[in-house]
Structure 1
């Protein structure tokens, strides 16, 4: 038995998925697409996410401790207030991302793109800070903060 729609009846568009507070601890998220999703207060502790797409996602307050996100896309993502210590972000795209107040000590940003990113009040290692300052440029489109100033270059 099939059900037909009444003429002129329009179904609403499905809402964006809500993942806030979900626990992805120690999971494999390689190649996954989380773009534009609300991932606030989620845990990706110990997770792997090579080439994962987090562009435009809200990761405010998320826990990324000891995770690996090499070559992941965080362009335009809100990473403010995240705990991201000892995270591999090598080759990640952080273009336009907001990392204000993030704790990223012991993390690797080797080869990461940080154009237009905001690192205001973020805790990052001095070695990473110096390295990021070599290529840092632009102004974050969300906060209006200069990337070099936010890194203390």
Structure 2
């Protein structure tokens, strides 16, 4: 093997080693982002379940003695089809229109990540609750999620 062949072989080897380390670095970065996304999604799902519990407890009938779950929604709100509006304006429901999501349970460093939750009625149907989650503008990871909840008390409207 001549010196020229040796130099070419070592240049090829260095290029391959550099590319391999870049692939390794990129895969480690992807794993970190994946863990962060998993933590974000877990936090969002946990928050949705808390809201779902609050919605399911609203206008529950606590005077029943037969062990059956029933609701007693305001009849005027049933007639006007504004149960979600009433629920969201009820101070006892503790559902603020906009709030930063608690991400303290995520083990991956957040790097300034913040998710804002908004709760409102579904446009065109004030019996449904619309929940939106989105990251703030400067976040490295973009997240957009939404869900619609129906109010169980609506089933007891007359």
Q: Which has the larger radius of gyration?
A: 2
| More strand, by proportion | 2
Bigger relative contact order, structure 1 or 2, given CA contacts below 8 A and separation 6+?
2
Say whether the fold is shared (TM-score over 0.5).
no
* TM-score, L = length of structure 2: 0.22
| More helix, by proportion | 2
